Each structure stands twice: as structure tokens, then as C-alpha cells.
Amino acid sequence: MTAVMLTTMIVCFALTISVAVSIGLASIFGIQASNAHMLISVKEMFNAINKFPLAAIPFFILAGNLMETGGISRRLVEFAKSIVGGVQGGLPMTCVLTCMIFAAVSGSSVATTFAVGAILIPALIKHGYPTSYAAALQATSAELGVIIPPSIPLILYGVSAEVSIGELFIAGVGPGILISLSLMAFVYVYCKIKGWGKNDGDGRLGFFKATLQAGWALLMPVIILGGIYGGIFTPTEAAAVAVFYALIVGGVIYREIKLPTLALVLRKSVISSAVIMFIIANAGLFAFLITRAGVPDAIGRWLEAVLQSPALFLLGVNAALFIIGMFIETSAAIIVLAPILAPVAMHFGIDPVHFGLVMVVNLALGMITPPFGVNLFAACTVAKISLDRIITHLIPFVLVILACLMVITYFPAVALTLRDLVYAK
């Protein structure tokens, strides 16, 4: 059965069939090969999405789209620019900082790419930055959308590996800040070397004026994250609160969301949510079948025999996930691999929350690496350029993220210090 499933999946990938359909077809052929009843497919696909925490995903997607349409994104950009926009290279630094703030509500890197990129990519080009650099910077910065809490991939890992989503969220703050500061330091030095961005401060609002304009927008992550860690509502309920708040701020206070626009936002959010849920359903069936076939246990025993220390295990997993992330969508990879790898990591004494951050940060790299990097496609769409043009400027950003990944991997305190303070045993 396992051989049939893997062969089918590889053939489907080679034929450029979508990941969700490839996994689903592989599962169907696996059921047929094992002479099991086809009702298993319906039952397990339903079980995969019949989980309360997953309700947060469509809500966070809708919240991100409402922020983009309701003028919240634009005000966050002005606020970030008022902080770092006055130095040489301040506009690229504004891009990173805005994505960091936006990520504290949206939970999605693609939503962050479109919402922030629609404003900052044209601004970067206007200030003399190459279009390819602007697109590469935006795609990389938007990766923070899946690391800074709340995060859709962290929710998926928590559900798949049965780990506290609240602990995963708070553990994502440290790695998110590390990556943000590293990217800002890199773009500052890079712009100094290239001589770019000497006029980035032109048109910048004063800090107090920008803060006043963005006040309602800045309250959003405070309410969402404060509510979660204050015990007022769960991460899933927080997603619904985010939608309600974005709708009130964008529609009533800023008055930029109109009824015709709202219909388009809802349609876009439904399509995005359906795509993710379809992936989750098919990946859930696939994970059930390979678990039933004993693949996780076999992989676990092999890893224990070959990689005989936690350090080697983490290195091997990082190398494998980096390659997998280039070809398989992040959500599907997490749902399939988390139930397999998390128990092995725990056998090596690795905290499952720490391992979750390592997995998510690593697989998030797949969003900015060819050939299937969704952030790259989104950024190229906004910048109106082809993918091949941004590779040269993309490589240094990937190396910066890889360096941060190694720090997060081998210094667990980056992720776990804040978690241990909030969730003191």
C-alpha cells in the first residue's frame, strides 16, 4: 500500500497536479491496494477537518483580507515608516516592520504579501529600488506571517501533533522578533553598501501623528494577543474577534469597507479557506493511511538508528524539511509530517513546542524558494515581474533566514523562554 501511495504521489507531482489532489489520489489508490472499504476515505477526511481549532483558519484569513481592504494595512505602513523610515534603507526596514505588525493579526503569509506589498512594492520602486529587490524583500518579510502569532501553520501543527496552540503562539514571538531584527539589520547594511535609499525619509509622517492615525489598527494585535494570553478567549475565538474588530474599524471608523467591497472580500476569503481545508482533508486521510501502515514507526526507528543524538536529528530533519518545503505546500507538509516527526523528537528529549517552531520556520522557507514558493508568486503578481528576475536578490534573504533557523534550532531558549514565563509549570 505504501509503495502504491508514494509512487502515485510522485507521478502526480511530476505531472504538476496540485498537492491536495496528488495526496488525495495517492490515498484513494492506497485504499484500493489494501482492499479496504472506500468509506474510510470519507470518514477520515471528515475527521481531519472536524476539529474546533481549525475554525480559526477561515476567520484569520477573513481578518487579513478585511485589514487589507479597510485601510488598516496602509496606516500600519505609515506607523512603521515613522519609526524606521528616516534612515538610509528605511523603506525596506519599514516593509519588514510592517509585516511583523500585520502578522500579529493575519496569521497568513500570502495575505501579508498582498496587503503590505500592494502598498510598499510601488513605494520601493518609486524611491529607486529595483523591482526585483522590492519583490524579493516583500516575499521574504511576509514569511513572518506564519511565525509571529497567531499563525495558521502553528495551529495546524498543534492540531496534528496534539500540542497546546497557546504555547506554540507565545513561543513564536522570540523567533519572529529574531528574524525581523536580522532582516532589518541586513537590509540596512545592504542599502548602505549599494547606496540605495538616501531619500527614504521623504513624505514620512511624524511619529505621534502616524501613531494617532494608526491607533485603532495598532490596538488590533494588542486585543487579540492580550485576550489569548489573558485567558479571555481561546485562539479560535480570537480569530472571530479579529474579524469583528477589522470589520468595525474598516467599515465604521475608517469607512473604507463598502457593501460591494465586502462581498468581494468574503468571496476571496471563502476560496482561500476552501483551498486550505481541502488540503487538510486529503492530508489527514494520507496521514491516517501511512500511520496504519506503520510508516511513522519505521521512520522513527530508522532515525533513531542513524541519527543517534538530538543535534544530528535536528540537522537531518532541517535538511529534509528544507527540500520538502520547496516542493510541498506548507500546510500539507505539516499535517503529514508532524504526527511522524514530533514523537521521534520527543524521544530525543526535544520539547514538542520547540520542535514545532523549527518545523514551521523551516517549512516557511518553502514559501520563498522556487519552484513552488507561494509568497514569490504573490510578490511577483503585485510587482508584475516574472519569477526568474528576483532569484539573484532572493538568495541573500534566504541565507539570512537559514542563519536564524540554525539559531532557533540549537538555542531552544529563543522560542521557549517566553513560553516558560507565561506557562510556568
Q: What is the mean pLDDT of residues 19-35?
A: 86
Cβ density class 299-324: b for 16+ within 10 Å, e for less: ebeebeeebeeeeebbeebbeebbeb
Measure the CA–CA gap between 184 and 140, rounded to whole angstroms: 12
pLDDT the model gives residue 177: 93
- The identity of residue 356, as a single letter, is G
Contact 331, 153 (CB under 8 A): yes
pLDDT, residue 327, reads 72
Distances (CA, A) of 293 to 35, 137, 194, 276, 333: 13, 43, 55, 26, 19
Task: Say how far apart CA 165 and CA 338 lie, in whole Å.
Answer: 14
- 8 Å CB contact between 307 and 313: yes
Question: Which amino acid is it at 339?
Answer: P
What integer is the mean pLDDT of 46-74? Answer: 82
CA–CA separation, 135 vs 185, rounded Å? 18
pLDDT higher than threshold 70 for residue 40: yes
What amino acid occupies position 138?
Q
> What pTM, to 2 d.p., does this model score?
0.80
Tens digits of residue pLDDT in 97-150:
988 888 777 767 777 887 788 888 888 888 889 999 999 999 999 888 888 888
From the list 104, 71, 101, the residue with the least C-alpha distance to 84 is 101
Q: C-alpha grid cell for residue 9?
A: 504521489
